[in-house]
Amino acid sequence: MTPAAIASLSAKILDALGGVLGPAPVALHEPSFFGNEWLYLKQCLDSTFVSSVGEFVDRFENELAAYTGANYAVAVVNGTAALHIALQLAGVRAGDEVLVPTLTFIATANAVAYCGATPHFVDSDIRTFGVDPEKLRSYLDAQTEQRDGQCVNSSTGRPIRALVPVHTFGHPAAIEDLMAVARDFGLAVVEDAAESLGSFYRGKHTGTFGQLGALSFNGNKIITSGGGGAILTNDKELARRAKHLTTTAKRAHAWHYNHDQIGYNYRMPNLNAALGCAQLEQLPTMRAQKRALFDRYVQAFAGIEGVEIAAEPPECESNYWLQTLVLDADRASCRDVVLELSNTAGYMTRPVWGLLNSSEPYRHCPAMNLQSAEFLAHCLINIPSSAYLVGPRREQA
């Protein structure tokens, strides 16, 4: 593009953003509290049970299981902790490799590293932003061998233990096809559903396809518990072990202390669960608001050639957690100008994360050809996505 064309397109994009968002400043994503948030926090405080045990933790876990359709949900301190424990329970051990998309937040890879394992980076599909199942299958065919029933990286000789599909920005990955690849190569599947609470693939909630799934309730997510996460599973024994590992692996006893393995202090405090319970009640409303915001963006950008708003994949319902501008390949050169202009104007926008295979801690890790992720890294812009942009922000009490 010529500088003039870049300037012209960037101005149109800024104009369209302004039309949807109104007066600046507008943050990328902020929570809204218009339900029972204050009531439950107050109940929690009045009970004096604000910490490691309490009725809100049990209730949050039960309600998360009911909403997602998972048999079990175990509330933890954040999404990173959920992934860490889910990977351990999926059998990931020191010296293993774990297949992780290069296009994701760094926590996905960090959780692998916490297990002493090495992320092995795989490419994304340019439509879903999730791991590309066909490309993954071809790669594993060429790059791995089965030894004693274990998938092994032919180059490094290390076991490839698991695959971590990410439901990027809330849009479901091609999870059924990915499950088939994992089955054929003997890989465990831990879904990183940190961004996709409220997103469904063919009517089934994301995070419930793999042996385990991880949710996040960080402040920037569709609902928040301040800090928080959860492990989803349909397996009773995995759920029991998840609870045990995240509560310092202490065997139950009224007063004796007896820990049977190296556990973690990863449980969600009751105070955070109280906020989570109130937010979960609002999830259907937030989903509807985010879908309405998507519609507004689609309308606003309809007349701008070469720019689209990322839509949910076919047969999927996305929670539209983070709205995303997709620039055509030949218009990607205006990304940085759009970022500069919009942030200067007070509309917070963001490129996708830096690709993990280029990040300092992980640049020596194994990786397939990452052509599509590299393409996406240059043409995506996340734009303001708070549900309150089409609804109330907080209780009008």
Taking CA 231 as the corner, what is the angle to CA 191 and CA 324, rounded to the nearest 5 degrees?
50
As measured in angstroms, the least distance from the Cβ of 139 to a second copy is: 25
Instruction: Report CA Rg, the chain.
Output: 21
Indicate the residue among 224 and 233 with the shorter CB distance to a second copy.
224
Helix (H) or strand (E) holding 14: helix 3-21
Which residues does residue 307 pair with via DSSP β-bridges, in sequence order? 327
Of residues 19 and 354, the one with the C-beta less far from a second copy: 354
Query: Which of 196, 147, 190 lies closest to 171, judged by CA?
Result: 196
CB 286 to a second copy: min, Å: 14
Nearer to a second copy, 300 or 383 (CB): 383
Residue placing its CB nearer to a second copy in the complex, 6 or 50: 50
CB nearer to a second copy: pick between 144 and 289: 289
In angstroms, the CA 325 to CA 173 distance is 18
The least distance separating a second copy from the CB of residue 358, rounded to whole angstroms, comes to 10
Place of tokens 């089955």: 183
- Least distance CB 305 / a second copy (angstroms): 25
* Smallest distance from a second copy to CB 179, Å: 27
* Smallest distance, a second copy to C-beta of residue 261, A: 5
Choice between 187 and 286, CB closer to a second copy? 286
Nearer to a second copy, 169 or 185 (CB): 169
What CA–CA distance (Å, rounded) separates 310 from 325? Answer: 6
| Residue 365 identity | C
Count of other CB atoms within 10 angstroms of residue 159: 23
What Cα–Cα distance (Å) separates residue 45 from each residue in 58, 271, 300? 16, 8, 45
CB of residue 324 to a second copy, shortest distance in Å: 14
**Shorter beta-carbon distance to a second copy: residue 148 or 256:** 256
Q: How far is the CB of 96 from a second copy (least distance, A)?
A: 16
Which is closer to a second copy, CB of 40 or CB of 301? 40
Q: Where are the beta strands (DSSP E) in the chain?
A: 72-76, 97-101, 118-122, 144-147, 150-153, 160-163, 188-192, 200-201, 204-205, 212-216, 229-233, 307-309, 316-317, 324-327, 350-351, 380-382
Report angle CA 119, 122, 125 to the nearest 5 degrees.
145
| C-alpha 59: how far from chain center | 23
Q: Which of 373, 378, 272, 286 is nearest to 325 (CA)?
A: 378
Considering the complex, what minimum distance in angstroms separates the CB of residue 90 from a second copy? 19
Residues lying near a second copy in the complex (CB under 8 A) are found at 30-33, 37-38, 41-42, 45-46, 48-52, 77-81, 105-107, 110, 113, 116, 218-220, 224, 226-227, 248-250, 254-265, 267-272, 275, 339, 343, 348-354, 359-361, 393-394
Q: Please report the sign of the dihedral spanned by the C-alpha atoms of residue 76, residue 213, residue 140, residue 372.
A: negative
Between 269 and 313, name the residue whose CB sits nearer to a second copy: 269
Please state whether beta strands 350-351 and 380-382 pair in parallel, antiparallel, or not at all (unpaired).
antiparallel
Q: What is the closest distance, in whole angstroms, from the C-beta atom of residue 155 to a second copy in the complex?
A: 23
Phi then psi dihedrals of residue 247, to 5 deg = -125, 45
